[in-house]
Structure 1
Amino acid sequence: MIEKIQIQGQEFHLHPLGGLFWVKKSILLISDVHLGKVSHFRKFGAAVPRKAIHKNFILLDQIVADFQPFQICFLGDLFHSSLNKEWELFENWVGKTPSEVVLITGNHDIIAPEKFQNVNVSQFQELAIDSFFFTHHPEDRKGLFNFCGHIHPSIKLKGPGRDYVKLPCFFKSENKMILPAFGQFTGTHALKPKKSDDVYAIADDCIFKI
């Protein structure tokens, strides 16, 4: 179920797959997909099922179909490391996706910019639109609200006794929102919210505010 929120008078939709949609601009924000990570680990002997390679692309198709955005902006770490066979899958995905695709460069994005240019993917260090700016690492900028990734945020919820569950989340503070990692083969980092923070946890197909 999609969660609708307001930030600085603008409507945004949070998707349980981990993407965020800016309604007015028809921009879909997605962070930390880490394409190629499965192939990278398989290359070095990790017992990861081959079908996991296609999972991210299936989920990308799903979220794009749900929002039909004019533009998709990846907030860094689109690819996990150097070029591998998953690049061909990405080329095919971009070719059949009607949305414009933009990449904010992350610390893992080491593939040559020319490769992205060849498939009409624009690449930026950061991008500012109206009173919002998009980065990979969280940043503070006076007068602007930051959408970012990198952290792979999660929240720990305590149960009875010593039991707890750790859930990926959208983590919103006064001037920024950190998106969860979209990639299915990524870890998370538990954050401790302050009273002024808003946390939107993801469980199965639901989003709920903590």
Structure 2
Amino acid sequence: MTLAIQNNHFQLACNGVSYWEEQQALLVADVHLGKISHFRKNGSAVPQTAILKNFDRLNESVAQFQPKQIIFLGDLFHSALNSEWNLFENWLQQQQAEVILIAGNHDIISPLHYDELGVKIHQELNIDNFRLTHHPEEQEDSFNICGHIHPGYRLVGLGKQHLKLKCFFRSERQLILPAFGEFTGCFVMKPEPKDQVFVCADAEVIQVN
């Protein structure tokens, strides 16, 4: 699925990333690295192999789009340093693209650690008429691309069966990306008539309203 926004084009992928063609930038929201290790440390029965899924899926996206920039829209890490930081460091060493983090409310790890790895941190990033943030922040003079909400949409079948899927949520001046990370959950959105919802199915992104 490709969206045209202000003469720019954004490919929406079913794993929740978006590729900004004109900037050759991969946009990724709410990875929450370290969350699975945090769960396991506190006794949750989450398999060790789940930790690697985030990195596997990131690698798949990088291989697919070959970006020059990878921009994380906040909440890259879930909390303080843990064993997944070492995995992140190893992952960074394999990347050719510039890596940028727009700080989110969960990003409490010292910027010094990111600086040592060559990751640039911003509170927001303005590119042409686009404003990239973690929290949704609409302004009249720019189009906002963000995360934080973990948007989802509930589909209801004829037999009253329910299916909740992650989604991209577009309003007039904003695009909210779904949470990329495993075990992040989603918040069911209630679109207004002019809003657009693009759900992430297993093999494609589908507009549902």
Q: TM-score, normalised by structure 2?
A: 0.98
Shift of 1:106: 0.4
Shift of 1:160: 2.3
2:139 to 94, 119, 141: 141
Q: For residue 10 of structure 2, what is the aligned residue in structure 1?
A: 12
Aligned partner letter, 1:150: H
Q: Distance in 2 between matches of 1:42 and 1:166?
A: 25
Q: Distance in 1 between matches of 2:2 and 2:159?
A: 34
1:25 to 17, 23, 32: 23
Q: For residue 115 of structure 1, what is the aligned residue in structure 2?
A: 113
Q: Distance in 2 between matches of 1:204 and 1:11?
A: 22
Q: Distance in 2 between matches of 1:160 and 1:142?
A: 40
Alignment of 1:150-165 (within 5 A): 150-165=148-163
Which segments of 5 or more consecutive residues in structure 1 lack a partner in the other structure?
Answer: none
Aligned partner letter, 2:146: C
Q: Distance in 1 between matches of 2:165 and 2:40?
A: 26
Q: Distance in 2 between matches of 1:50 and 1:7?
A: 40
Aligned partner letter, 1:20: S
State the superposition RMSD in angstroms: 0.7
Percent identical: 52
Q: Distance in 1 between matches of 2:178 and 2:142?
A: 21
Which segments of 5 or more consecutive residues in structure 2 lack a partner in the other structure?
Answer: none
Alignment of 1:36-185 (within 5 A): 36-185=34-183
Q: Distance in 2 between matches of 1:110 and 1:164?
A: 36
Q: Distance in 2 between matches of 1:28 and 1:141?
A: 23
Q: For residue 191 of structure 2, what is the aligned residue in structure 1?
A: 193
Shift of 1:161: 3.7
Aligned partner letter, 1:143: D
Q: Distance in 1 between matches of 2:162 and 2:39?
A: 29
Q: TM-score, normalised by structure 1?
A: 0.97
Q: For residue 202 of structure 1, what is the aligned residue in structure 2?
A: 200
Q: Secondary structure at the match of 1:45?
A: coil
| Number of equivalenced pairs | 208
* CA deviation vs aligned residue, 1:90-124 (integer Å, no higher than 9, x gap): 00101111110000000100000000000000001
The runs of at least 4 aligned residues of structure 1 exceeding 4 Å deviation read none
Q: Secondary structure at the match of 1:17?
A: coil
Q: Distance in 1 between matches of 2:89 and 2:189?
A: 35
* CA deviation vs aligned residue, 1:66-104 (integer Å, no higher than 9, x gap): 000000000000000000000000001011111100000
Q: Distance in 2 between matches of 1:189 and 1:109?
A: 20
Q: Secondary structure at the match of 2:179?
A: coil
